[in-house]
């Protein structure tokens, strides 16, 4: 290793050391926790086609694999919001978006 190079910082340490990265890690945790809260409400086939998306000051997004999955998830949004409230999550608008396909 060259004399001027610093040793690599473990990811967890880097996340704690940087305020912007720490906020990003917290938003990722919250999104996963929200999805874990609603996941038991999803049939297995639907759960396999949905995933947690970003959470920000404007709301939380659930990502759908395709338009049909998104349509079904949108029908369930009122139930999701009620379940999240029952479990103590702050009230944020819940968006459902089709995840873009990358080739």
- C-alpha neighbours within 13 Å on the C-beta side of residue 40: 4
CATH number of 11-98: 3.30.300.180
Residues 56-78: pLDDT tens digits?
889 999 999 999 999 999 999 99
CA distance 60 to 69: 17
Least confident of 13-17, 57-61, 77-81: 13-17
**pTM beyond 0.85, yes or no:** no
CA distance 41 to 47: 9
Written as six digits, the tokens of 89 are: 């999550």
For the chain, domain boundaries: 11-98
Written as six digits, the tokens of 81 are: 């919001």
Please give the radius of gyration of the chain, using alpha carbons only, rounded to the nearest integer: 17
53 contacts 31 by C-beta, under 8 angstroms? yes
Mean confidence (pLDDT) of the chain: 89
Instruction: Tell me what percent of the residues of the chain surpass a pLDDT of 70.
Output: 91
């Amino acid at each position: 290793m060259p004399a001027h190079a610093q040793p690599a910082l473990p990811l967890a340490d880097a996340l704690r050391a940087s305020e912007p990265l720490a906020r990003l890690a917290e938003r990722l945790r919250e999104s996963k926790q929200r999805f874990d809260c609603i996941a038991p409400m999803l049939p297995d086939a639907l759960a396999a086609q949905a995933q947690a998306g970003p959470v920000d000051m404007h709301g939380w997004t659930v990502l759908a694999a395709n338009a049909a999955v998104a349509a079904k998830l949108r029908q369930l949004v009122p139930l999701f919001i009620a379940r999240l409230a029952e479990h103590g999550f702050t009230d944020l608008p819940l968006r459902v978006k089709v995840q873009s396909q990358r080739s």
